[in-house]
């Protein structure tokens, strides 16, 4: 029997209502699973840990590019303003020692902290580790009780995030551990802990706690392209946070060892041309003069296969392996050069620019905070050739690479590396740099501020063309 249009419409409306009810019930169940408090609220140890968490205020530069006609004259000075940005941090040692994210305080000229009881005190930057996105500051006139590292956690274990999202100090969210060893991209060496406790701007640097109020990790980011909570949050594992923070506290730095190469992963096209499998090594784009790699005879075009038995497929593999070593140690490197397989013990040295201790000046990126070091350009070239780009620096985030040529800074031509360094030092917190990237035929202007803040990539993504270094 044919169904009338009126009966069909009623059926569709009823089906729609049932679907809405089902979705609502499912969402409520998920929310209840994620947010339901234990009897009496969060565990007492978690609530007590809030006294060791601070809200950090960092006065950091913000630069904007100004549109201009290159035919009308030199580039105008970038417009620079200073803005207060909020982050979180927590005490890891007695005496006012606070650990937070490097990106939360990078380039700051002033840092203040608000305590759990509302007091506001000054904080001094003691040292940083940009590669692992960690920084240590010391409070002046306050010393909250330090938190302690938790035992290893398991998938599905309940965790709690403390911090100051949107400057709401002492905020608490809850979730469960969702995974381990997550990555931002093909370069970042940190294997992040994934969880679904809500994170929003201002949570960076705050602790992720277990039910006993002990630190599981440091909350750092959410997955791209989101900038607010999407249920996928990342934390630096506690073991790395405490180990690196203590090294910075005692030594003023967490200087990574250096091999002295800039590398690129083998995408299918490169691998096929070199008769290798994709991901079977890292091709060397550049070798730093005077580095351990140069002393060992590595040259551009060589393929790194393994370091101390660790197979190298992405730049992050090399980055992570080096960070587990110390300057002065030997590492066994296996590489391919001209069809020959070579193997040699290489003595690692300290990465330049961080070996002089923990003051802000000593920890600043090369070339006055922009992350560039120059060599003199050859007689047939103009400007200053870049010899080194500090990992995680503003220049690195903007795409500068060794071998690029800086031609002018703020509209003033530079003749060599010495002049380029002086111009950047004069430029203050931001500069308009005219640069000729390798492979380009025409130079371009790029605006750099001293403080960099990198974009994230979704976890699990494959990065066949990742480039990183120098390491």
Full set of structural domains in the chain with CATH: 47-254 (2.40.10.120), 257-352 (2.30.42.10), 366-449 (2.30.42.10)
Catalytic residue status for 126: no
| Active-site hit among 129, 133, 229, 404 | 133
Report the pLDDT value the prediction gives residue 387, as an integer from 0 to 100. 79
User: CA gyration radius for the chain?
Assistant: 25
**Contacts of the segment 221-229: beta carbons below 8 A, 24+ positions apart:** 221/184, 221/192, 221/456, 222/456, 223/456, 223/458, 223/459, 224/455, 224/456, 224/457, 224/458, 227/201, 228/200, 228/201, 229/198, 229/199, 229/200
Nearest to 360 by CA among 236, 208, 273, 253: 253
Candidate list 169, 204, 265, 393, residue with the active-site label = 204
Of these residues, 88, 102, 103, 457, which one is catalytic?
A: 103
* Largest interatomic CA distance in the chain: 92
**Is 135 in contact with 125 (CB distance < 8 Å)?**
yes
Query: Residue 399: helix, strand or coil by DSSP?
Result: coil
Active site residue 133: yes
Phi, psi of 164 (to 5 degrees): -130, 65
pLDDT value at residue 208:
97
Print pLDDT tens along the chain (471 aa). 455 555 545 555 555 555 544 444 444 344 333 334 445 578 999 999 999 999 999 988 764 444 455 555 565 555 556 788 899 999 999 999 999 999 899 888 899 999 999 999 999 999 998 888 999 999 999 999 999 999 999 999 999 999 999 999 999 999 999 999 888 666 778 889 999 999 999 999 999 999 999 999 999 988 766 566 778 899 999 999 999 999 999 988 887 788 988 888 887 877 777 778 888 889 888 888 888 999 999 988 899 999 999 999 888 889 888 888 888 889 999 999 988 899 999 999 887 654 323 222 222 234 456 778 777 544 456 788 887 777 656 787 677 888 888 888 877 888 877 778 777 877 766 777 888 888 777 788 777 775 433 323 323 334 445 566 667
């Amino acid at each position: 029997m044919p169904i009338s249009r009126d009966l069909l419409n009623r059926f569709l409306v009823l089906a729609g209502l049932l679907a809405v009810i089902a979705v609502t019930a499912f969402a409520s169940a998920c929310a209840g699973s994620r947010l339901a408090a234990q009897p009496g609220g969060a565990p007492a140890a978690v609530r007590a840990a809030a006294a060791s968490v601070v809200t950090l205020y960092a006065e950091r530069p913000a630069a904007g590019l100004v549109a201009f006609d290159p035919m009308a004259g030199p580039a105008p000075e970038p417009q620079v303003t200073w803005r207060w940005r909020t982050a979180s941090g927590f005490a890891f040692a007695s005496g006012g020692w606070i650990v937070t994210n490097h990106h939360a305080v990078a380039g700051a000229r002033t840092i203040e902290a608000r305590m759990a009881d509302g007091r506001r005190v000054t904080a001094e930057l003691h040292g940083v580790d940009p590669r692992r996105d960690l920084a240590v500051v010391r409070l002046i006139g306050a010393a909250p009780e330090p938190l302690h590292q938790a035992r290893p956690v398991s998938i599905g274990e309940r965790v709690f995030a403390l911090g100051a999202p949107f400057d709401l100090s002492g905020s608490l969210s809850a979730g469960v551990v969702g995974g381990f060893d997550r990555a931002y991209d093909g370069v970042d060496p940190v294997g992040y802990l994934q969880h679904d406790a809500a994170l929003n701007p201002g949570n960076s640097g705050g602790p992720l706690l277990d039910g006993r109020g002990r630190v599981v990790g440091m909350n750092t980011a959410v997955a791209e392209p989101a900038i607010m909570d999407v249920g996928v949050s990342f934390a630096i594992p506690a073991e790395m946070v405490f180990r690196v923070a203590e090294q910075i506290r005692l030594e003023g730095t967490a200087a990574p060892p250096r091999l002295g190469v800039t590398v690129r992963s083998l995408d299918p096209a490169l691998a096929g041309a070199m008769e290798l499998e994709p991901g079977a090594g890292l091709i060397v784009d550049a070798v730093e003069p005077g580095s351990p790699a140069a002393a060992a005879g590595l040259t551009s075009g060589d393929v790194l296969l393994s370091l101390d038995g660790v197979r190298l497929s992405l730049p992050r593999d090399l980055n992570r392996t080096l960070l587990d070593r110390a300057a002065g140690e030997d590492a066994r490197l296996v590489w391919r050069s001209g069809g020959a397989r070579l193997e040699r013990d290489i003595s690692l040295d300290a990465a330049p620019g961080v070996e002089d201790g923990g003051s802000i000046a000593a920890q600043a990126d090369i070339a006055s905070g922009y992350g560039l070091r120059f060599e003199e350009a050859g007689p047939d070239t103009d400007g200053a050739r870049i010899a080194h780009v500090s990992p995680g620096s503003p220049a690195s985030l903007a795409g500068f690479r060794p071998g690029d040529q800086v031609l002018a800074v703020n509209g003033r031509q530079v003749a060599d590396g010495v002049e380029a360094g002086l111009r950047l030092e004069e430029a203050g917190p931001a500069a308009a740099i005219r640069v000729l990237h390798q492979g380009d035929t025409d130079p371009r202007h790029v605006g750099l501020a001293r403080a960099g803040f990198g974009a994230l990539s979704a976890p699990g993504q494959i990065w066949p063309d990742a480039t990183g270094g120098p390491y």
